[in-house]
Amino acid sequence: MQSGQVLAPRIEMRQRPSWRRRRIGPWIAAALWLCSQLVVPSYGYGKPPKLGPSEIQSRYRDVLSILAAGDEDRALEALYELETLVVGDEQPWKRVEDFWRLKLRTLREMLDADSLALLMPVMMLHHDANQMYLERDRPFLAGHSRIMSVELAEIYADRANSSGAREFSGWVMTSLGAMLWYPTSVVSSADLFYRAQMVDPGNPIALMGLGAAYERNANYEMAIDYLTRLLELDPENSVAALHRALCQMRSDETSRDQGLEALKDLQRPEEPSWVRSIAHQELARAQLLDDDVESAKATIRRGLAALPGDQQLALQLAWVLDGARRPKEALGVLGGIVPGDAQVPSPRLIYDVWEPSEMQDIRDRLRRDAAIGLPALADKLGVEAPAGGEQ
């Protein structure tokens, strides 16, 4: 039990009649309230004590000073302490909004045209805080950190107005989106990917993520748009090409023809085997929809010859043969299906759960790049920058 707020009503419900008779109810309630105030921890749970605006700004500057001195781990812990103290667990939107403004004001007071780079380590601090809060199961504070980081990324991209700044900010937002990416719930990620590509239209993960997110929501036109942009930048990206082809197949008639052609291209031996498997499966499916059973059979057989042991292609062939009233042949094909390794996903699962890859490398690079801003931050806060902070 963390506070008396839950305990008091339970007692009250049981005891109410006698309390009323003896008129001691209000006294017991007052005593319980007093106890609850005494047992509430100083921060982290329950109602946090109030800090004034100047105190919040001062303590936020302390956090930034630790960061400027090059100790991001300690800065993260100090930020955790400050944010849990101010915000708590109650999701007080007004208090959070004020807190967020105060932090921005603190930074704005330090910013000038020559010191914009100081935003880089600060946005990474909040980026990493987001991860920390997710790991500590504090989703509300994670969201707060995310908003802070994205806000700084957009300010930095806008004010610095250089391709480097836009690229850095775009990757920070993409990385945040990737942390939230869960195939069955893509809205939060898609919002971040959208904001990332607004500042850096060439960010490949953001474009792919948006394509996949729109595809999941059956908005094939938008998916094709983002995937096309990605393929213009990276024509060899076979994953994007496959997703676009399948979106085209499900879109209008003209796009369908383009999709069919792309599926034929994706059957090349140099493509990943799961891509080839799906290219064969989906081309055959389209041929069946066109009542071209012979072509469908030929496509699947070609796929099986190229990818022997592919369970889904074998099932599809058996199904087509069975539908063509050749059950014995179908049974023969099914007899060849052998169980696979549970840890090896099927091509259709790989396709369905596209997720941002190699993000750890990207995050490490972002942290290295963010160190460029430490001297400017240290200078503004009057602390000593770590040696080698400026590159």
Partner 1 sequence: MKRLSVLATLALVLLASQAVALEVWIERPRPSEFVFGQVEVLIRAAPEKEVASVRLTVDGRQVALFDRPPFRIAVDVGQENTEHEFEVLVRSVDGELKSAAVVTPALQIDEVVDLGLQQLYVTVSGFGKRVLNLAEADFRILDEGKRQKIVTFERGDIPLTATLLLDCSLSMKGDRLAAALQGANEFVEGMKPLDQAMIMLFSDRLLRVTEFSEDRQMLSQALTRVEAAGGTSINDHLFLALSRLEAVQGRRVVVLFSDGSDVHSVLPMEGVLQKARSSRALIYWIQLRDPRENSEVPEYTSSWRNVEANRREFKELRLAIQDSGGRIEVVESLEELEEAFAGILAELREQYVLGYYPSEAKHDGGWRDVRVRVEKSGLDVRTRGGYFDY
Q: Give the Cα separation of 297 and 98 in Å (integer).
A: 65
| Residue 225 C-beta: closest distance to partner 1, Å | 17
Rank residues 117 and 205 by Cβ distance to partner 1 and give the closer one.
Answer: 205
| Residue 144 C-beta: closest distance to partner 1, Å | 28
Q: For tokens 């430490």, what's the residue?
A: 374
Rank residues 80 and 351 by Cβ distance to partner 1 and give the closer one.
Answer: 351
Enumerate residues 6+ apart whose C-beta is below 8 A from 6: none
Rank residues 133 and 193 by Cβ distance to partner 1 and give the closer one.
Answer: 193
Rank residues 37 and 217 by Cβ distance to partner 1 and give the closer one.
Answer: 217
Q: Give the Cα separation of 80 and 67 in Å (integer).
A: 13
| 150: amino acid identity, one letter | V
Give contact residues for partner 1 (rule: CB under 8 A): 183-184, 212, 215-218, 243, 246, 281, 285, 311-313, 315-316, 318-319, 322-323, 327-328, 330-331, 334, 337-340, 342-346, 348-349, 351-354
| Residue 219 C-beta: closest distance to partner 1, Å | 9
Q: Which of 148, 92, 73, 168 is nearest to 363 (CA)?
A: 168
What backbone phi and psi angles, to 5 degrees, belong to 185?
-145, 95
Q: Give the Cα separation of 373 and 120 in Å (integer).
A: 6
| Residue 345 C-beta: closest distance to partner 1, Å | 6
Rank residues 75 and 284 by Cβ distance to partner 1 and give the closer one.
Answer: 284
Q: For the chain, what is the radius of gyration of the CA atoms?
A: 29
Answer left, alpha or beta for residue 237, where phi above 0 means left and psi between -120 and 50 means alpha: beta
| Residue 4 C-beta: closest distance to partner 1, Å | 30
The crossing angle, in degrees rounded to 10, of helices 311-323 and 327-335 is 170
Cβ atoms < 10 Å from Cβ of 295: 15
Rank residues 69 and 180 by Cβ distance to partner 1 and give the closer one.
Answer: 180
Q: Give the Cα separation of 168 and 264 in Å (integer).
A: 37
Rank residues 13 and 338 by Cβ distance to partner 1 and give the closer one.
Answer: 338
Rank residues 190 and 374 by Cβ distance to partner 1 and give the closer one.
Answer: 190
The crossing angle, in degrees rounded to 10, of helices 374-381 and 93-110 is 90
| 274: amino acid identity, one letter | W
Rank residues 15 and 295 by Cβ distance to partner 1 and give the closer one.
Answer: 295
* DSSP conformation letters of 268-306: STTS-HHHHHHHHHHHHHHHHHTT-HHHHHHHHHHHHHH
| Residue 220 C-beta: closest distance to partner 1, Å | 10
CB of 367 closer than 8 Å to CB of 67: no
| Residue 351 C-beta: closest distance to partner 1, Å | 6
| Residue 305 C-beta: closest distance to partner 1, Å | 17
| Residue 202 C-beta: closest distance to partner 1, Å | 24
The crossing angle, in degrees rounded to 10, of helices 374-381 and 119-135 is 100
| Residue 268 C-beta: closest distance to partner 1, Å | 21
Cβ atoms < 10 Å from Cβ of 99: 21
Rank residues 49 and 335 by Cβ distance to partner 1 and give the closer one.
Answer: 335
Q: Give the Cα separation of 276 and 259 in Å (integer).
A: 14
